Chain A
């Protein structure tokens, strides 16, 4: 049973560019959340998707957007990249509310 899978694992972008990160939730899970983790800090909640709609959002600007597909997979898009967007981006998924939340290994984004 595959867990949460994310791609790419590492990527380097230039300031001002746009990036798309992808996530496949654990089998049987229909809710996906995205987190940003800067070096040395705990993950910070970006937003959550359920039934192909954004349900909750953390304190992140509109440059951060997402999408969920009918197969429950999800994308995180970041426009107009800033140096401060360099971080580990984590995807998490769960099934029924209250069930254990599982995290992927993350995508390391470096903005130069």
Chain B
């Protein structure tokens, strides 16, 4: 079973920030937090990952709670192309495979 819980769906307006939450209360010290997204009719695409500190890249930011039991993926300015299913996944250090949950379906309104 997936070790993360996410809302089934969220909605955002175009060009506004989006905060996608994820709970992972049973996270272990060696689990990395990974986010992938899946656009319609495509395979999952890497977004960002982190261990303890907040992380930023060109796609998004990842805010990790101090106790690491939750995290938030932040899209700073949502575009229509960001409409996708977003998966929050725990990956054991050097773990080789993912256990996916159902993810959060993000809709972006023009």
Contacts and interface: CB of A to CB of B under 8 A. Distances in A.
A45 B43 contact: no
Contacts of A44: 100
A89 B46 CA distance: 18
Nearest to B99: A45
Interface of B is mostly: loop
B96 A97 contact: yes
Please indicate which of the listed interface residues B42, B46, B96, B99 has the most CB atoms of chain A within 10 Å of its own CB: B96
A105 B42 CA distance: 5
Interface in A67-112: 90, 92, 94, 97-98, 100-106
B46 A31 contact: no
Given A41-B102, A42-B103, A103 B96 contact: no
Contacts of A55: 96
A101 B98 contact: yes
Interface in B77-108: 85, 87, 93-94, 96-103
Interface of A: 4, 31, 33, 35, 40-45, 48, 55-56, 58, 90, 92, 94, 97-98, 100-106
Interface of B: 2, 36, 41-46, 49, 85, 87, 93-94, 96-103
